[in-house]
């Protein structure tokens, strides 16, 4: 499961999942991520596997090929049949 949110709630949730009372210790940077192992589900204490800032996540990601934008014809984008993400 992936959860997306904002501080301070995300850090507080992470602290609760791993059984810590120090939520400030688990503050997320914008774009940061954590992996928590919950072997007993929400009934037990989780184990923090990793807690990474965005710069580390960017370094781990493979390069992304960006397609050039379609040329503009008569003030509108040309239809190329390609999908741009």
- Residue 82's contacts (CB-CB under 8 Å, 6 or more residues apart) are 67, 70
pTM here?
A: 0.65
pLDDT digits (tens, 9 = 90+) for 4-50: 888 989 999 999 999 999 988 888 888 899 999 999 988 899 999 99
Query: If you ran DSSP here, which 8-state letter would residue 53 be given?
Result: -
């Amino acid at each position: 499961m992936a959860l997306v949110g904002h501080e301070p709630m995300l850090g507080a949730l992470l602290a609760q999942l791993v059984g810590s009372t120090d939520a400030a210790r688990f503050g997320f940077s914008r774009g940061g991520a954590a992996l928590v192992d919950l072997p007993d589900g929400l009934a037990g204490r989780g184990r923090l596997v990793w807690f990474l800032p965005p710069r580390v996540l960017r370094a781990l990601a493979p390069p992304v090929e960006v397609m050039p934008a379609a040329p503009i014809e008569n003030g509108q984008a040309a239809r190329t049949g390609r999908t741009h993400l």
